Structure 1
Amino acid sequence: MADLFDSADTPQPVAPRPLADRLRPKTLAEVIGQGKVLSPEGPLGAMLAAHSLSSLIFWGPPGVGKTTIARLLAHESDMAFVQISAIFTGVQDLRKVFEQARIRRANGQGTLLFVDEIHRFNKAQQDGFLPYMEDGTILLVGATTENPSFELNAALMSRAQVIVLERLSLDDLERLAQRAEQDMGRALPLKAEAREALLEMADGDGRAALNLIEQVAAWKLDKPLDRETLSKRLMRRAAKYDKSGEEHYNLISALHKSVRGSDPDAALYWFARMLEGGEDPRFLARRITRMAVEDIGLADPQAVEVCLQGWQTYERLGSPEGELALAQAVVYLALAPKSNAVYTAYKAARAAARSTGSEPPPRHILNAPTKLMKDIGYGDGYAYDHDAEDGFSGQDYFPETMKRPVYYQPAERGFERELKKRIDYFAKLRAKRQAP
């Protein structure tokens, strides 16, 4: 028994703290990479200076300091810091949190409630925070990697200010690496290009960077590693990409705008980014074809055909061989002449169709299969264009009560330059035919 008690009284070795935990900033001034929001002119800096902190939603990618900043805000404001995760917290847990916050408030201390992954709470759960925010029981700081506009309900958003936290730049990560080296008391065993590669592998995530640094620092090496050797030893962090989330829409928007901007290199880059993120090439084939219709149109009628051929080629070859056909279509679209004239005309025609309701076609272009219909003027005065001079009658085909509009106005680019000549030609003939 004595041995048992002795062993219990003997101090046990304490496991070393991870580097990311050791380097957690102790003041807001030590936070790296979020100067825009923490500076005196930034939203958080201004709130602290005015001693008026409001409920907040931190929106940003992983590893940019959301939890750390929330903890330091609580410290700077003399508030109790309570952290929960929407993934693991149920209704009973929340009730306990609110009750404890109410007791603190009665004793003169506020509670900063930090809710990680707040977008995981459903609408009813999000609504549950509202009364406690309104009566000052809690100051809510939610953290999310998803766009709050899509994931959080309007009532919660109206009571909190959204603070956008940015991914860390390579310069930010370098500062973090230097801070890590100072803590460890030695430099990383990496050549300059390998050091840069290491920071690139973190993909803007400070926590990931520190984990990689800690891993490299533990290696027993005789000489510094070069980029190639480092790449063999470490796996690159998977790029942030959610095929159903905001990143999906951000990247397809970047691809579409690069094509529209006639930049084949940028278009190929975003196309490749989506493929590397696991996007379905069929989705890309569909969107590329839409680009051909929307942004190129009749300036290059061949563009749609190139897209459809690329799509069909992919269906026959599959991945990865078929993806080259889609890449070829992307380059073709980027370099094709651009026109949205048909797209604009189509939207205008749809708007006019909605506004004019059920206006009938003019009687002269209505069929008259019965005697009654002939008697009331159906088809009366219709001019058969093939019998007219130049094969063009110039008749009006819009409803009789509708002033003739102009929807399609081709651009002076590509094949539409020829179409514009035809439109101008027919406009002159129409004026001539309709002249008294």
Structure 2
Amino acid sequence: MADLFDSSPADLPARAPSDAPRPLADRLRPRTLAEVIGQAQVLGPEAPLGAMIEGGSLSSLIFWGPPGVGKTTIARLLADQTDLHFEQISAIFSGVAELKKVFEAAKLRRRTGRGTLLFVDEIHRFNKAQQDSFLPHMEDGTILLVGATTENPSFELNAALLSRAQVLVLTRLGPADLERLMQRAEQELGRGLPLDGGARDALVEMADGDGRALLNLIEQVAAWKPGDRLDRAKLTTRLTRRAAKYDKSGDEHYNLISALHKSVRGSDPDAALYWLGRMLEGGEDPRYLARRITRMAVEDIGLADPQAQRICLDAWETYERLGSPEGELALAQSVIYLALAPKSNAGYAAYKASRAEARKTGSEPPPKHILNAPTKLMKEQGYGSGYAYDHDAEDAFSGQTYFPDGMKRGIYYLPVDRGFERDLKKRVEWFAGLRARREAGRGGPEDGGA
């Protein structure tokens, strides 16, 4: 696990050379918590972990964050600083039998007066029963649990475990932190990397916030034969750009589609295009995006611009015909159109309100006057009796009720004063006034129609 250091390279003592070369990430592993940089929100004096250490009241923890930000290293250094035995397991390779052995060893160790910090990597991989097995050993002090996960603990860990551990969020490393890690690597290697400023920036971008990934890239560069300094273009031809971290079935998937949707709703085409690009670069299925973009049209634009839905469907069809990458441009153009279109959720809100009312009223039948009467019996029962054919009425509007008998008339659709819904609002208001006049027994409207 690679971490950054809070001191400049010149301030740190040189490391003793070893006979067998070790990976750079291992050679640069911090030796104290003070050497870890980044994660100030966790390790700072006023931060949760810093306060725990200062107060001598370390409790079980869950580290939630992306790969390469120091979860394992911080856990190991915590054990060193608190004089706890460090035990590490991975939920990917461990089962119930391995857990029992770990707990038994921790109990024996406790009898000798030493506690155990049990670090569980990928803890979200354990099922509910396996997660429950930690609880009694956490409660009686046999272990101090430190779990690491890249997934949202709210969804992946059970409530009982979360109630006994504090969740600390570790964040991806910033460009300045990664640059300092590069300097530290150059000190360890004993020479500078043959990169100009643009190439150094490109190397940081390729690492994508992952310190361990940066050190792996640096090892590749350092192994090249000596030659001229490389610029950005030469570097990127020699190194394959690291794919952005994107889990199409995990938190990142939902976070990014939420960001795209809210950018469209917020009428920001540039941000919407950025998140669309992020998802496509991460390998998201363009058909999924086409479906979600169409949903945005009906949910957030609606009848304020009836053309928006058609544009989304056309973009979807265009993608199906052209495929990638050409068809993705059609999706991008539909995103731009939606972001700049007038917004209204009036249709969406009306639909939800009508569904809620339908659930409450159950099986209420339609009023008999609007039911067909194909048989004599039905006619005798009053089916169709009193129905007014609207085309025969003045302004083609009879004003009769279409709701169940005895049910108060519902008002669900409240159009906004934007886009095409501005015209629909006028029609709604005109029909409402006309209906009121009909119910009052008066004639047609005085304004001459919609």
TM-score (norm 1): 0.93
Aligned residue number for residue 334 of structure 1 = 339
- Asked whether 1:140 is paired with 2:153, we answer no
Code of the aligned partner of 1:233:
R
Aligned residue number for residue 112 of structure 1 = 117
Select 1:236's aligned residue among 226, 237, 241: 241
1:143-197 deviation digits (Å, cap 9, x = unpaired)? 1111122222222222222111100111111121222233333332211111111
Aligned residue number for residue 94 of structure 2 = 89
After superposition, residues 33-432 of structure 1 pair within 5 angstroms as: 33-432=38-437
Partner of 1:256, secondary structure, is helix
Distance 2:203 2:176 in 1: 13
Aligned residue number for residue 9 of structure 1 = none
The offset of 1:379, in angstroms, is 2.9
Aligned residue number for residue 6 of structure 2 = none
1:391-430 deviation digits (Å, cap 9, x = unpaired)? 1111222223322222111111111111111111111111
Partner of 2:148, secondary structure, is strand
Aligned residue number for residue 28 of structure 1 = 33
The offset of 1:290, in angstroms, is 0.9
RMSD between aligned alpha carbons? 1.7
- Greater displacement, 394-403 / 91-100: 394-403
TM-score (norm 2): 0.90
Aligned residue number for residue 3 of structure 1 = none
Distance 1:189 1:422 in 2: 71
The offset of 1:217, in angstroms, is 2.8
The offset of 1:350, in angstroms, is 0.8
Is the CA contact (8 Å cut-off) linking 1:111 and 1:138 kept in structure 2? Answer: yes
- Greater displacement, 36-45 / 361-370: 361-370
- Greater displacement, 25-34 / 341-350: 25-34
User: Identity, % of aligned pairs?
Assistant: 78
Gaps of 5+ in 1: 1-12
Distance 2:387 2:103 in 1: 79
Code of the aligned partner of 1:141:
V
Gaps of 5+ in 2: 1-17, 442-450
Q: Which runs of 4+ in 1 moved over 6 A?
A: none
Code of the aligned partner of 1:162:
V
The offset of 1:224, in angstroms, is 2.1
The offset of 1:247, in angstroms, is 1.1
Partner of 1:171, secondary structure, is helix
Distance 2:414 2:259 in 1: 27
The offset of 1:68, in angstroms, is 0.7
Is the CA contact (8 Å cut-off) linking 1:32 and 1:176 kept in structure 2? Answer: no
- Greater displacement, 312-321 / 281-290: 312-321
The offset of 1:258, in angstroms, is 1.5
- Greater displacement, 285-294 / 45-54: 45-54
The offset of 1:306, in angstroms, is 1.0
Partner of 1:57, secondary structure, is strand
The offset of 1:323, in angstroms, is 1.9
Distance 2:80 2:400 in 1: 79
The offset of 1:49, in angstroms, is 2.1
- Greater displacement, 265-274 / 111-120: 265-274
- Greater displacement, 348-357 / 258-267: 258-267
Is the CA contact (8 Å cut-off) linking 1:27 and 1:72 kept in structure 2? Answer: yes
Code of the aligned partner of 1:167:
R
Is the CA contact (8 Å cut-off) linking 1:259 and 1:334 kept in structure 2? Answer: yes
Distance 1:212 1:320 in 2: 29
- Greater displacement, 98-107 / 372-381: 372-381
